[in-house]
């Protein structure tokens, strides 16, 4: 299969940069899966970008200017993963050759989830897996509501219910641009807890894990 895996910054990034132990384990898992599958990777910013955002708040930059700074930070993550895997680093989709690649932030106004979905579209992916710090998509925010219920799956026609946002560093489970790409291209998608990397293997194997869209 052709697969795009998005590793959220919430599981892969610490305040001062990449989480060595997590990323090492993740890349070992990807290496195992690469024996049978073609895999591209998207990496988020997490606390690494979040702490930088807080440190520049008082400079009075607008959202686009701030995002330009964030994108430069995430370029370093792309280069790191590319060097460790040999996959093509992507900073401009017009340069993408259709093979295995690494992507993150590219331009202001587009989340890393949207770029991961775009990679899945251009790659002709059979599966898009987003690894995050919760078990999947809930009917309401599980960090605020104890009675939030995990939604195990829904089809492309119901995708708009997810209701993501277009706010930098606060896009929600999937932002509207990512959802639009997934819906229009009918990209089978799984959102699952990336703290346990066995969930990635289960998603690739077609087992029920997290929230399945498709």
Lowest mean pLDDT among 10-24, 29-43, 149-163, 175-189: 149-163
Could you tell me the residue range of the domain that residue 143 belongs to? Answer: 2-213
What confidence score (pLDDT) does residue 166 get?
A: 59
Q: Whole-angstrom Cα distance, residue 123 to residue 6?
A: 14
**Segment 144-171, tens digit of pLDDT:** 888 989 888 888 877 766 655 555 555 6
Q: Whole-angstrom Cα distance, residue 118 to residue 212?
A: 18
pLDDT of 199 > 90? The answer is: yes
CATH number at residue 81: 3.40.1160.10
What confidence score (pLDDT) does residue 153 get?
A: 86
Q: Whole-angstrom Cα distance, residue 14 to residue 161?
A: 31
The total domain count for the chain is 1
Contact of 88 with 81, CB cutoff 8 Å = no
């Amino acid at each position: 299969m052709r697969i795009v895996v998005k590793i959220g910054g919430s599981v892969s990034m610490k305040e001062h940069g990449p989480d060595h132990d997590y990323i090492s384990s993740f890349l070992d898992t990807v290496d195992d899966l690469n024996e049978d599958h073609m895999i591209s990777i998207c990496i988020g910013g997490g606390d690494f970008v979040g702490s930088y955002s807080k440190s520049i708040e008082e400079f009075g930059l607008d959202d686009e200017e701030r995002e330009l700074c964030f994108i430069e930070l995430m370029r370093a993550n792309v280069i790191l993963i590319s060097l460790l895997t040999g996959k093509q680093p992507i900073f401009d989709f017009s340069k993408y050759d259709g093979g295995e690649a690494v992507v993150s932030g590219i331009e202001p106004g587009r989340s890393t989830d949207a770029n991961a979905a775009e990679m899945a579209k251009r790659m002709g992916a059979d599966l898009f897996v987003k690894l995050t710090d919760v078990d999947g998509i809930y009917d309401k925010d599980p960090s605020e509501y104890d009675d939030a219920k995990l939604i195990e799956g829904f089809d492309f026609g119901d995708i708009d219910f997810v209701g993501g946002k277009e706010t930098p560093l606060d896009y929600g489970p999937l932002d509207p641009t990512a959802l639009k790409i997934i819906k229009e291209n009918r990209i089978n998608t799984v959102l699952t807890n990336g703290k346990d990397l066995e969930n990635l293997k289960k998603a690739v194997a077609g087992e029920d894990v997290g929230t399945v869209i498709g």
